[in-house]
Amino acid sequence: MKMSTGVEWAVHCCVVLSQAEDPVPAQRLAEFHGISRTYLAKHLQQLSRAGLVSSTEGRVGGYVLTRPAAEISVLDVVQAIDGHEPAFRCTEIRQNGPLPASPETCRRACGVARAMHTAEQAWRDSLRAVSVADLAAGVLEDNGPQTFDRVREWLAT
Q: Which chain residues interact with a copy of itself by CB under 8 A?
A: 1-5, 7-9, 11-12, 15, 31-35, 74, 82, 85, 87-91, 93-94, 96-99, 101-102, 105, 108, 111-112, 114-116, 118-127, 130, 134-135, 138-139, 142-143, 147, 150-151, 154
Question: Is residue 59 part of the contact set for DNA (CB under 7 A)?
Answer: yes
What residue 135 binds from DNA, a copy of itself, none (CB within 5 to 8 A, per partner kind)?
a copy of itself
Question: Is residue 51 part of the contact set for DNA (CB under 7 A)?
Answer: no
- Show the 3-state SS of 39-93: HHHHHHHHHHHCCCEEEECCCCCEEEECCCHHHCEHHHHHHHHHCCCCCCCCCCH
What residue 48 binds from DNA, a copy of itself, none (CB within 5 to 8 A, per partner kind)?
DNA
Question: Is residue 84 part of the contact set for DNA (CB under 7 A)?
Answer: no
Residues 6+ apart with CB under 8 A from 33: 9, 12, 13, 40
Which residue among 34, 60, 99, 156 contacts DNA (CB under 7 A)? Answer: 60
Nearest CA-CA partner of 9 in 37, 48, 40, 31: 40
Q: Is 8 helix (H, G, I), strand (E, B) or coil?
A: helix
Question: Is residue 38 part of the contact set for DNA (CB under 7 A)?
Answer: yes
Cα–Cα–Cα angle for 99, 104, 106, nearest 5°? 70
Q: Which residue ranges make up the site for DNA (CB under 7 A)?
A: 2, 4-6, 23, 25-28, 36-39, 41-42, 44-45, 48-49, 55-63
